[in-house]
Amino acid sequence: MSTSHSGALKSRASSKLHPKSQPSVTTEGLLPRPVLIALLLATNGFLLAATLVLSRKAQALGITPISFGFWMSVGAALLLALYAGRHMRDLANRRMATFGSISGLTSLAIPQLIMFTVLSHIGAGLASLVYALPVLLTFLFARMLGLEGKNGFRMAGALVGTFGATLLLMPTEGGLPTSALPWMALALLVPVILASGNIYRAVAWPVGAKPQVMAATTLGTSVIVFAVAGLAFGVDFDFTKVDGVWPFIAVQSFVSAGQFLAYFALQRVAPPVIFSLIGQMTLLFGLPMGAAFLGETYTVMTFVAVGLMALGLIGVVGGPVFKARLRK
C-alpha cells in the first residue's frame, strides 16, 4: 500500500479512532464515552452469546442452520426497518447502501452462516471462543493501515488473549476433540472475516449514517445470503414443519435486532481494536450460558484459557493508559 493511500485512510478515520477528536460526553445519552463503550460491549456480548444458545436449541428441534438464519434475519430486518421508519430512505444514497451491504456480509451473513453450521459439532461455549480471536487480527490490520500507533502493551495483550483462545483449539484433554477439528478449522474463517469488517467499517462509515438504518441493511443482506445458500443446498424453509421452533425464531429476531442496533452504535464511538472486544464479551457470557442452558461442561484447561484471555483484555484496553504513565 502506498504511503499516500495509507495516509488518506488514517486521515479519513481519525475522527473515529482518536479520543481527542471526540467529545468526552455523548450527545445521545449524556454518558461518558468509556461508560457508553463498556455498556455497548456488554450488550453485544450478551446478545451474541444468546444467539449461539438459541441457535443450538433450535437446531436440536430439527430446523436447519440455514433456515433458522434466514427466518431470524427476516424478522430482525423487519423490526429494524420499522424502527428506522422514514430514515430507510437514506439507502437511496449509493454509498450508504454499499456500506450497509458490505457490512452485512462481513458482520453477520457469512460469519453466522459458518457458525450456525459448525455449532452442532463444537458447542456454543467453544463457538464463542472464535469470536474472541479477531482482537489480534484487528490490531495487526489497523497497524498495517496506520490506524493504530505502536503500542507494545496492546500487542502483548492481543497475543496473550489469542494464545489463551488457541489453547482450547488443541486436541488435548480439556481441549477440542480431534473429530471436531475440521469444523473448528472452518470456524476459524470467522475471525478473519470479522476483523476485516472491523477495519472496513472504521474507514468507510458514511457521514450521517444512522445505526438503525445500517443495522436494518445488514440484516437485509443476511436474508439474501441465507436465501441463496438455502436454494443452493435445497433447504426446506418451511419452519412450520418443525414442532416448537417458532418461539425460538421470534425471540432470536428481537435478539438480533437489538444486537445489531448496539453493534452499529458501538461502531460510532469505539476504535476498531476496542470494538473487536465484542468477542471477549461473547465468551464471558457464552461459557456460563452454554453450561446453564445446554449442559455443556468445561475443564481446568477452559479456565486457564479464559484467564489468559482476561489478561489479554486488560492489555488491549489498558495499553494506552500504561504507555502514558511510563512516559511521565
* For the ranges 32-36, 138-142, 257-261, 301-305, the one whose mean pLDDT is highest: 257-261
Mean pLDDT computed over 112-135: 76
Give 71's pLDDT tier (boundaries 50, 70, 90). Answer: very high
Distance CA 257, CA 33 (A): 23
106 vs 13, more confident: 106
pLDDT (tens digit per residue) in 219-235: 999 999 999 999 998 99
Give 144's pLDDT tier (boundaries 50, 70, 90). Answer: confident
Query: The whole model's pTM is what?
Result: 0.78
Other C-beta atoms closer than 10 Å to the C-beta of 3 total 8
Residue 111 backbone zone (phi > 0: left; psi -120 to 50: alpha; other: beta): alpha
Identify any residues that bridge with 32 across adjacent strands, giving them in sequence order.
25
314 vs 292, more confident: 292
Contacts of 65 (CB under 8 A, 6+ apart): 55, 59, 113, 116, 117, 119, 120
In the predicted structure, residue 313 carries a pLDDT above the cut 80: no
- Residue 321 confidence (pLDDT): 53
Distance CA 267, CA 198 (A): 8
How far is residue 320 CA from its own chain's centroid? 23
CB 48 within 8 A of CB 278: yes
φ, ψ for residue 25 (rounded to 5)? -130, 135
Taking alpha carbons only, the member of 60, 104, 58 closest to residue 219 is 104
Distance CA 47, CA 263 (A): 10
Give 31's pLDDT tier (boundaries 50, 70, 90). Answer: low
In the predicted structure, residue 95 carries a pLDDT above the cut 70: yes
- Residue 21 confidence (pLDDT): 36
